[in-house]
Structure 1
């Protein structure tokens, strides 16, 4: 006799971005997941209860993510979908977005990001195109990725409008209270990627907390993000790990644990 695994307890926390779109704090990342693996992993994430999917033009998996979403039976308006435009496509931003929408089988995305900074006037020029795309209803919210505070100010000054969110590498090893404060002073939400990379899962301070609270190191790291109100997008191709990473609503970290995790990077 086989038993179905218990359903994960997913957090339902969202963050309201400037402009009004609500982004789930927990999402499913798809970087480096391609082909049939991308379909299977995205399907597993949706089945586990994730309602936020993160992809990008350069990931080469928008079609697979779109197929998984289309075949999932989950209503479109229940899933927050992010994709990204590389600065190499500056001047052709809308063509890139229309291609992304075609591959994703969508008429709009919930969040569209400049994937990384370009040189010279590229960022400001792209940002103007992004504002037009949002005004045309092709993206509910627009933001950037891998920008620093100076670049955030640059695009804001060019258009009078700040990015809704900045997606950056983030984990306890990379925590920087100044960076968080800089974003919040500008009304820019922070979204972290690569949370489970760089040795975080093996760090003794993190594993000690995980052992004490009876959770995996990954669950502790994801929970840390949620309690900081930083969006987190863990990725995996393993269905059980995908479920486990989402099972973070049933516990919380105390102030001492949060402070200890903040101090892991020594900043």
Structure 2
């Protein structure tokens, strides 16, 4: 049986802000604040807590972030932000807290040593698009749409820009940021925001298949590889090769690499120890 956990929302809201289930090494975190699944402080904190928990949980091999409703996520809770304009500092401290927490969450997705897959069905806008771009893989339905529309309301999507500009090609990222226009799933794939597009009825099935395949790999190898992937991206090419070569040597010395190579040569199934 899958474990189901609901996080409590603020006192004036209902239960079930974030749903959690763990089965066969795959942790599903489902945004459950329809209709917009906004990234409120409460939801950001819940997601952060779950990723920190997953980081240390040996039973978690892969994390999937999904949602309920017609909108994957509309980004920051503008009503929550606007309510703090009456603060003495006109909301500056709360704005800083919100944007910093969101940035920390995106960094946590990159740093958690488990692959994170975005399962997208619906609109992913602003920080919601940032969330998709920050995940290691993204699979969406053929009716999903994406945008960074801050420019339309006088608030440039500067923090979403960080993730989007690293996932999408540079000029396509600028197109999204400067126009604020919504792009369809096919365009998002062309831009580099998503890996695959599938019919709605097959989304969960395809994501589950991806997750199961990845969960069957050596957890230590996945940890080593994910960390190396993001570190080498920021290095000049020669330094990247030097770094990657050192990582390969360290990886070769692990028991899982010895087991995997031995199993391949011996034509048998590998038995991973995570060592």
Indicate whether the TM-score tops 0.5.
Answer: no
Greater relative contact order, per chain length (Cα 8 Å cut-off, separation 6+): 1
Of Structure 1 and Structure 2, which has the larger fraction of its residues in helix?
2
Give the TM-score, by structure 2 length.
Answer: 0.31
Give the TM-score, by structure 1 length.
Answer: 0.32
